Structure 1
Amino acid sequence: MKRQKGQLSLQVLIFGSIAVFILSGFVLWAETHITTVQREANKSLAFDIAESGVEYYRWHLAHDPDDYEDGTGSPGPYIHEFLDKEGNVVGEFLLEITPPAVGSTVITVRSTGRTVADPTIEKIIEVKMGIPSFAKFAVVADPPDIRFGEGTEVFGLVHSNGGIRFDGYAHNVVSSAKEEYDDPDHPPDDGSENEFGVHTHITPVDPLPPATMPDRSDVFAAGRELGVPGVNFEGLSQDLKDIQTVAKNGGFHRIKSNSKGYEVVLKTNDTFDLYKVTSLGAPPTTGCNNYLGQDGWGTWTIKNKQFLGNYAFPGNGVIFLEDNIWVRGTINTARLTIASGRFPEQDSTNTSISITNDISYTNYDGGDILALIAQKNINIGLQSEDDLKIDGALVAINGRVGRYYYRKPGGGSNRCSPYHVRSRISLHGMIATRQRYGFAYTDDTGYDIRNITYDTNLLENPPPSFPLVAGNYEMISWKEVK
């Protein structure tokens, strides 16, 4: 058979073209893959650089906690080179720092990381850092022991430096500085039968140590912790003195009223009405008396008052009155701390804050923040609303947050009726109390339903000049912006 000329050359050409096409595709794929890998590596490096910027400024604050200008004395942004282990510049981070609001410690740090290899790539991380305050807890207490009765529901962290008997429902961790203690509400109260530092008597009652502590997720949804470090209440009196100084310098300050105290009525137009309280309501009957011998017992309900004036909320958000205070009303886009105290501190002259009517926010996104800080007690008065709502952080420095014991009818007398029992109290905020807190008693007097919901905005945006529990900045929130 006669071979045709050019047949082999044509086959070589065809297969060669196919090979070149495949090889070109492989080269293109390899180049794209390498580029993608390099880009991902640069993204990862940019992210690491951005994180390094955050850690750098956290370190900076540990050494200079009041400097929000990166040691330059000038506004930012601030750029720092990022070196590899050989000392070569491989990127940079750019810091944008938002200083705290007046009276707060919470700062915002935005760190942008870029690489030398590909400056078009950047990663952005934004964090909030602050010095922890008492506002990190839903309830924090310093008494030898504390009890949460049935009908109490708490959203947020609960801590006591003493023991805790918890018979309600806790959505977050409940902790005690004690491993175990002798619960005075559980006889015999003679030290012979210690209970866990956090325990419950909801059926089935917790066993006694050294038995294994049960889980009890029906009471402690997020668990319980024993023997944790305590919270220092000793500095609160000095904190109150510092708040008085802040009020005298750009805030609102008044000396004692020479009467029963002051009433503050909060308004949504960033003002408040101030009254002098001239007399308090008497108990409804002679049978309504201090049956339990409680310190400072009374109706804590206003009868007569005198209008003093309407005032704008101070620029630094701090109101300090050297007398007892009654507070009610509503705020709208305001940050306030209202404090009550008289110095030098003495048991006989320490002042309290009382609540009988609603204290409300308009906004629950952090736009409204309120603290009530009393030198002695935060009282819920006799003639308090049947369905009482309180928005704010409540602090009793030397006393307790709670309601006095108002006797129910008996012995042929109405006693404190109908105010001896109330339906519901709802707190949206937090409680810090030096003595045992409580809004109800075991004989079914007080508030039947007690709801304590932690305001998470307090963590990132505590009230002005609110007392701190630590000295170093901690991370509050972290997010990757880009």
Structure 2
Amino acid sequence: MKKGQLTLEIMILGAISVILVSAFGLWAYSALKISLRAHLRAQAFSIAEAGIEYYRWHLAHNRTDYTDGTGQPGPYVHDYYDKDGDLIGQFSLEITPPLPGSTVVKIRSTGSVTADASIQKVIEVQFGIPSLGKYAIVANDSIRFGTGTYAFGQVHSNYGVRFDGVAYNTVFSAVPNYDDPDHGGGNEFGVHTHANPIDPLPPAAVPPRPDVFVAGRQFPVPAVDFTGLTSSFADIKAGAQSSGLYFGSSTVSGYHIVLQTNDTLDLYRVTTLVPKPPGCTDTQGQDGWGTWSIQSETLVGNYPFPSNGLIFVEDDLWVSGQIQTARLTIAAGRFPENSQTDKSITVNNDVLYTYYDGQDVLGLMAQKNFNIGLISEDDLRIDGALVAKNGRIGRYYYRPPTSQGQGGQNCQLWNVRSLITTYGMLASNKRYGFAYTDGTGYLIRNLYYDPNILYGPPPSFPLTSDQYVQISWEELK
């Protein structure tokens, strides 16, 4: 081999070695840089999460402060230090307060690191305080759901539940067993059915019965507190008097509110009620029994919906109509409370939403009963959160003919109705019911739950907690 040729080969090998070493160095540098950026991104993510946790803590101590204690618009920037006290980054908070009546607050936290200002992580979380609207039906008394009842949300009673229809969500009771007032013999399970085959009695094992309890049944569970409704009514009245709509006594039978889709309402003074037909009598001794149906009324005026969404009527009240992108609570009551003067709400004609995505929210809160009167629509729909604070949600018993010769001399024309549909939730202090075991009342009862009212309830609607819970979490960047 010639000397020059050997030198050339050495030079080539050297060049290759230099290239390989340089490439390895570049790779190592790039890998280190990538690793460092990954570390910084993880650090920025942790800082962004720290911002969320900080404001969760802040809301736990001041649940209505959406300005980080400053009273000024955001964003709100906080330095972030490591365990050694060294400044390593910042989080910046953008806070969107709840809509009127809602409890949902949106927090967007942007985490950044001092080592590289170009690296940021953004997290957005929604927190809300759960309301009484957690349930499709909640009662402070034993309740019975007959054949023909279809419930599409959670059902809870502080006493016992007999369910003979179909429940598509869980049914809860606060008691392990109870004496069913509609059935003799021993105590029944806290949640039981008489749909064939009838449940055995305790202490037998609880059968699953998916044909009735599609999502199961649970008992005993903690009771739901109904006492908070008193303060809610007082708050609604105060809010209506200060910046909402407040109407005192009508001096006659009450008021009728007709809701309009242009964000106004027509208010009527109810002057007379439909007299009970001959032979249509209260055979069950029900408190407040009557036709609860309007015969004549006079227009008081047209009013825009109040900005705070609160309407309080210190008299009996009838409601009908439709809302469109409105959030309202309409309450009827009289203070000081007295069982002889408590006020009720009656719905005999449709009360409707336009949108079912949370844009429309309506609360109808009665101090005494929430009624369906004698002359009510055969196919009735009520959208909203319905509350009977001291009484019950339901329809009075309008008896059928008792003999062939009676003809119309009773409640015959109106005692049987075809279909009632509710969309929202029902909260009844006493036993609920739209139908009776003799086939009177509404034959089919569809009770749908509106999930939007759990964290976005009507204005001043009662809450079941004073603490925020996380509803959603999303990494935006």
Q: What TM-score do the two structures reach when normalised by structure 2? A: 0.93
| Residues 130, 473 of structure 1: 8 Å contact kept | yes
The structure-2 alpha-carbon separation of the partners of 1:14 and 1:238, relative to structure 1 and needing over 3 Å to count, comes to same
For residue 60 of structure 1, report the CA deviation from its aligned partner: 1.2
Once the two structures are TM-superposed, the CA of residue 390 in structure 1 deviates from its matched residue by 0.9
Question: Shift of residue 227 of structure 1?
Answer: 2.5
Aligned to 1:157: 154
Q: Distance in 2 between matches of 1:260 and 1:282?
A: 13
Deviation at 1:214, TM superposition (A): 3.4
Among candidates 210, 218, 223, match of residue 217 of structure 1: 210
Aligned partner of 1:179 in structure 2 is: 176
Is 1:364 aligned to 2:348, yes or no? no
Distance 1:71 1:380, change over 3 A: same
Partner of 2:265: 272
Shift in Å at residue 441 of structure 1?
1.5
Cα deviations across residues 428-453 of structure 1 (Å, max 9, x unaligned)? Answer: 11111101111111222221221122
Q: 1:408 maps to which residue?
A: 400
Give yes or no for contact 1:156–1:172 (8 Å, CA) kept in 2: yes
- State the Cα deviation string for residues 234-268 of structure 1 (Å, max 9, x = none): 13123212211111001111111111100000011
Report the secondary structure of 2:49's partner residue. helix
Task: Give SS of 1:229's match.
Answer: coil
| Whole-Å separation in 1 of the counterparts to 2:44 and 2:175 | 46
Quote the residue 2:330 is aligned against: 338
Match of 1:314 in 2: 306
Counterpart residue number, 1:148: 145
- Relative to structure 1, the CA distance from residue 26 to residue 175 in structure 2 (aligned partners, 3 Å threshold; closer, same or farther) is farther
Alpha-carbon contact 2:387-2:428 (below 8 Å) kept: yes
CA distance in 1, matches of 2:39, 2:184: 66
* Structure 1 equivalent of residue 70 of structure 2: 72
Runs (5+) with no aligned partner, structure 2: none
Residue 104 of structure 1: how far off its partner (Å):
4.0
Deviation (angstroms), 1:208: 3.1
SS at match of 2:424: strand
| Structure 2 contact 102–455 (Cα < 8 Å) conserved | no
Distance 1:467 1:272 in 2: 24
Q: Deviations over 1:446-479 (max 9, x none)?
A: 2122112211221232111112222222333333
Matches within 5 A, 1:412-427: 412=404, 413-414=406-407, 415-427=410-422
CA distance in 2, matches of 1:356, 1:67: 41
AA aligned to 2:159 is: G
Greater displacement, 321-330 / 441-450: 441-450
The change in CA–CA distance for 1:211 and 1:125 in structure 2 (over 3 A counts) is farther
Rate the CA distance shift 1:59–1:9 in 2: closer, same or farther, 3 A.
Answer: same
Counterpart CA distance in 2 for 1:226 and 1:243 is 34
Per-residue deviation, 1:317: 1.0
CA distance 1:11–1:129, shift in 2 (3 Å): same
Q: Is the contact made by 1:104 and 1:466 (CA closer than 8 Å) also made in structure 2?
A: no
Tell me, yes or no, if the aligned pair for 2:346 and 2:370 is still in contact at 8 Å: yes
Listed as ranges, the matches of 1:17-32 within 5 Å are 17-32=15-30
Q: Corresponding residue for 1:93?
A: 91
**Equivalent residue letter for 2:220:** G
The CA distance in 2 between the partners of 1:403 and 1:51, in whole Å, is 51
| Residue among 46, 49, 52 paired with 1:48 | 46
Q: 1:28 deviation in Å?
A: 4.1
The number of aligned residues is 474
- The aligned counterpart of 1:453 is 448
* Cα displacement (A) at 1:207: 3.4
Contact 1:128–1:460 (8 Å) recurs in 2: no
Equivalent residues of 1:127, 1:475 under 8 A apart: yes
Confirm or deny: 8 A CA contact 1:135 1:393 kept in the other structure.
Answer: yes
- 1:217-238 Cα shifts (integer Å, max 9, x gaps): 3333333322222111113123
Residue 215 and residue 125 in structure 1: after superposition, are their counterparts in 2 closer, same or farther (change >3 A)? farther
RMSD: 2.1
Q: In 2 relative to 1, CA 201–32 (structure 1 residues): closer, same or farther, beyond 3 Å?
A: farther
| Dislocated runs of 4+, deviation >6 Å | none
List gaps (5 residues or longer) in structure 1. none
Q: Secondary structure at the residue paired with 1:216?
A: coil
Cα distance in 1 for partners of 2:192, 2:39 equals: 52
- Secondary structure, in 3 states, of the residue corresponding to 1:202? coil
State the AA in 1 paired with 2:226.
Answer: F
Q: Deviations over 1:20-57 (max 9, x none)?
A: 55555544444444433333333333222222212211
Q: Output the amino acid matched with 2:375.
A: Q
Aligned position for 1:468: 463
For 2:121 and 2:207, the matched residues in 1 are separated by 46
- Residue number among 164, 167, 181 corresponding to 1:167 in the alignment: 164
CA distance in 2, matches of 1:19, 1:408: 104
What is residue 368 of structure 2 aligned with on the other side? 376
| Alignment partner of 2:56 out of 51, 55, 58 | 58
Contact 1:165 1:201 in 2 (8 A): yes
Of all paired residues, the percent bearing the same amino acid is 57
Match of 1:37 among 28, 32, 35: 35
- Counterparts in 2 of 1:40 and 1:404: CA distance versus 1, 3 Å: farther
Partner residue of 1:207 out of 192, 197, 200:
200
